[in-house]
Structure 1
Amino acid sequence: MKYQQPQKLQAVILDWAGTVVDFGSFAPTQIFVEAFKEFGIEVSLEESRGPMGMGKWDHIRTLCDIPEIAERYRAKFGRTPTDDDVTAIYDRFMPLQIEKIAVHSALIPGALDTIEILRNKDLKIGTCSGYPKVVMDKVVELADQNGYSPDYVVATDEVPNGRPYPAQSLENVIALGISDVAACVKVDDTWPGILEGRSAGMWTVALTCSGNALGLTYDEYKNLDKAQLEQERQRISQMFEPSKPHYLIDTIADLPAVIDDINARLARGEMPQSN
């Protein structure tokens, strides 16, 4: 049997916070700050955003490995954080996250319209997140109440390795019955999420303004003047460059035009791994 390249996309695999819900990705970042504070360690919102996209235990481990944060911990406890310390912070993070997830559960403006357009193009909607399943269950429940119900959901603790490994995206491919990874596009607001899609052999779309990289509320984003917004786009574009996204757009509302462009490229014989 001869291999045939896909001629059009079959599925879109979407991140959650900062992509479809929670403009600015505040739910996870603010809770990291609060969890560390309960141990007497000051972590800024900017610091907490650095490893965003990873599984939450790995995120905390990465934060604890930052020299400045490790030194604050050493000054408080007389040692740098061990894996047991990371687990203790994670165990406090989890109930705080579940308790407050509803505060930042609103759908990103334009998300539902975009999902409808994607479905009208016969695309399946897969999803994955850096949240563990116990948090994702609540996120999915709240999204369903707001009118968003994807075809599949994979939490970070449901696969052997979370982002930037490709396991969650590939789990979507299997569950959705997709014939070729090149017929999928991964959409995310973080570099680990883009690397996840790239490593899975998919097209990738990085969101510059709705998520962790810009870190503003929707109103704050809309109130930026054109020059400042363009400056932020350039900064975020440079931040994403090492992960090599195929496309950069402001928010999910801009995704339909990208889908059309990818379909045109596939029809011409282009593949994500060759770009």
Structure 2
Amino acid sequence: MPDLLASLLDLVLAPVCLACDGVIAPGDTARLVCRGCRSRLRPLPPPVCPRCGAPRLRTGREPEPTCGECVAWPAALRAARSACLLAPPADRLVHQLKYRGWRALAEPLAERMAAVALPPDVERETGIVIPVPTTATRRRERGYNQAEVLARAYARRTRRDPRNLLQRRGAASTQTILQPAARGANVAGAFRLARGVERDVRGAHLLLVDDVLTTGATAAECARTLVAAGARAASIVTFARALDVHRLTAT
């Protein structure tokens, strides 16, 4: 009878995966994301663009000579890397972190991000990580900025210094509802340097952190703001990358 009771308690109290809602199996050391969902996170398939990390389309046997994803990015945005594609189950994990209050998810997501190889110059030159700031309204609604929680977890794993060097102006529309062409205009002038951080920015190559990279418009505007304030460059690392899955499967 005690064994049966213990088994029932294990079943009732067993942790549930935040991606698939399934019970996490006994012996799985993870408490938030099950082994099956972790294995289904899809890294960006090689070959990738050396600048933005997006998979390169192939024309015949060779990748296309130019990358359509980052060709319009400003020089201020040096490079980008992401841990996985924004496809199931990554999209559910981002939703849980961003909208459902699961701040603890930042740890396993940052673990994936820390395993991504940055370009050598980015790895060598970046000592400060900066969360992409959200608006004051969004921060009040959610109680936190998911990029800031991610940045702290990522900084711990990569032995970098997390700093809030940027602030968001006003209340721009969310990027998620906008077409790619409108995203750049939506964030134009949306960021400013925080007070008293000029010395940290001057001459530095700074590493931005966010949950998802889509067109790069937000990262590009952050990079422009930092370089205008004296930074040498900015790069970005995210958990997920939003790309056209049909485009990838056609390569």
Task: Give TM-score, length-normalised by structure 1.
Answer: 0.33
Q: Which protein has the larger Cα radius of gyration, Structure 1 or Structure 2? A: 2
The structure carrying a bigger helix percent of its residues is 1
TM-score by length of 2: 0.36
1 or 2, which has the higher strand percentage?
A: 2
